[in-house]
């Protein structure tokens, strides 16, 4: 039996990433109902909004689902309390020290997974008591590790170091990529960008269409002096690049970034002035289709590739 499917009690070892302005209860419940693990992305939610999405997700599915929580979120204690009060069974943490909240969550019977960008962080996460790690490569959308290690290198490096299950992320949007991740030692995959281009994603249709239209080279890692983030090139990105090329310091970049830049782009659909976070795999996304179809397509192609390669074990 697959370690990730067993850990979460799901049919397929495929996790839908918890993405800001994209993964609310509609997307999470659709993925969970289809046999994967759907995640609500708490990073763009006030505490009361998160509670609403958890409650709606419970109404929409009787299958396992989880919440992704950035640990550096200013209202992190309120978010954790809501997760515990609502008896969420799975929490993916990121952007912070897993030692802080993992014991609290584990004491309540919650399964905890931490997102890492290096084998060193994976070891620290294992020591903190997490049940699994997401090893996310440089190709991924949104905020990235400073190491800029690609998925192809990161996954085997992490698998060599830890005993807990490893979920591969970054550049994975197809069954072929899933098979590659398993060949590298992963026990599951986390898919983000591919699920943005679905009707259930809460992001603006303009942003979804920009993802579909993106080609190779249309995304770049930016804002490295703050927190590195992969963006679709647009007027805002070019403004940041000009500032960075001129030697702008972190304070100047913060002023340029301003407030709600990601909401402006991904949720409100302003494709020039907004922050458009997406992965390199967007170059391989050519349509908007229901989340259940996305998951089914990935699984079917994965099975086909397994047979072609001689029954890759899962």
Domain ranges of the chain: 3-202+284-311, 205-281
pLDDT of 147 above 90: no
pLDDT score for 256: 87
- Evaluate the CA torsion angle 194, 197, 199, 204 in order and state its sign: positive
pLDDT score for 144: 81
Q: Largest Cα–Cα distance of the chain, in whole Å?
A: 54
pTM of the predicted model as reported, rounded to 2 decimal places: 0.94
Strand ranges of the sheet holding 65-70, from the earlier edge strand across to the other edge: 14-16, 188-191, 166-169, 132-136, 111-116, 90-94, 65-70, 38-41
| Residue position matching structure tokens 């170059």 | 283
Reduced to 3 states (helix: H, G, I; strand: E, B; else coil), residue 168 is strand
Q: Which of 176, 122, 126, 172 is closest to 151 using CA atoms?
A: 172
> What's the pLDDT tens digit per position in 33-75?
999 999 999 988 999 999 999 999 999 999 999 999 999 888 8
pLDDT score for 182: 96
Average pLDDT of the chain is 94
- Tokens found for residue 271: 């494709």
Strands 142-143 and 229-232: antiparallel
HSE-up (13 A, CA, CB side) for residue 147? 14
- Tokens found for residue 189: 């995959």
pLDDT of 313 above 70: no
> What's the pLDDT tens digit per position in 162-190?
999 999 999 999 999 999 999 999 999 99
pLDDT score for 312: 55
pLDDT of 285 above 60: yes
Q: Which of 91, 13, 34 is closest to 314 using CA atoms?
A: 13
Q: How far apart are CA 98 and CA 71, in angstroms?
A: 8
Cβ(169)–Cβ(140) under 8 Å?
Answer: yes
pLDDT of 307 above 90: no
Average pLDDT (235-243) is 93
| DSSP-derived secondary structure letter, 206 | H
pLDDT score for 83: 97
Report the 10 Å Cβ neighbour count for 187: 21
Q: How confident is residue 217, by pLDDT bands cut at 50, 70 and 90?
A: very high
Categorise residue 203: left if φ over 0, alpha if ψ from -120 to 50, beta otherwise. Answer: beta
| DSSP-derived secondary structure letter, 134 | E
| Residue position matching structure tokens 């931490």 | 114
Q: How far apart are CA 229 and CA 95, in angstroms?
A: 12
CATH superfamily of 3-202+284-311: Aldolase class I (3.20.20.70)
pLDDT of 262 above 70: yes
| Residue position matching structure tokens 């490569």 | 137
- Tokens found for residue 10: 């799901």
| DSSP-derived secondary structure letter, 105 | H
Cβ(286)–Cβ(294) under 8 Å?
Answer: no
pLDDT of 290 above 80: yes
pLDDT score for 311: 60
Average pLDDT (237-259) is 90
pLDDT score for 188: 98
């Amino acid at each position: 039996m697959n370690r990730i499917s067993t850990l979460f009690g799901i049919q397929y070892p495929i996790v839908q990433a918890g993405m800001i302005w994209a993964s609310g209860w509609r997307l999470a419940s659709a993925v969970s109902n289809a046999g994967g693990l759907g995640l609500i992305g708490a990073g763009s939610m006030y505490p009361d909004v998160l509670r609403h999405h958890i409650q709606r997700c419970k109404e929409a599915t009787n299958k396992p689902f989880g919440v992704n929580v950035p640990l550096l979120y200013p209202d992190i204690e309120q978010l954790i309390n809501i997760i515990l009060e609502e008896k969420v069974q799975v929490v993916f943490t990121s952007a912070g020290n897993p030692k802080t909240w993992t014991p609290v969550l584990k004491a309540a019977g919650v399964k905890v997974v931490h997102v890492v960008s290096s084998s060193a962080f994976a070891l620290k996460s294992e020591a903190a008591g997490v049940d699994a790690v997401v090893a996310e490569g440089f190709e991924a959308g949104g905020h990235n590790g400073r190491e800029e290690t690609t998925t192809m290198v990161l996954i085997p490096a992490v698998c060599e170091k830890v005993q807990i299950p490893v979920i591969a992320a970054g550049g994975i949007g197809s069954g072929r990529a899933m098979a590659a991740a398993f060949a590298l030692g992963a026990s599951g995959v986390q898919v983000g960008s591919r699920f943005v281009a679905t009707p259930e994603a809460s992001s603006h249709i303009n942003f979804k269409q920009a993802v579909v239209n993106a080609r190779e080279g249309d995304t770049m890692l930016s804002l490295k002096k703050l927190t590195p983030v992969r963006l679709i090139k647009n007027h805002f990105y070019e403004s940041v690049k000009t500032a960075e090329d001129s030697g702008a310091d972190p304070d100047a970049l913060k002023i340029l970034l301003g407030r709600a830049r990601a909401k402006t782009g991904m949720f409100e659909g302003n494709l020039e002035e907004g922050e458009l976070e997406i992965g390199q795999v967007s170059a391989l996304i050519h349509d908007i289709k229901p989340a259940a179809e996305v998951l089914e397509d990935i699984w079917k192609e994965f099975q086909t590739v397994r047979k072609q390669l001689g029954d890759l074990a899962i």
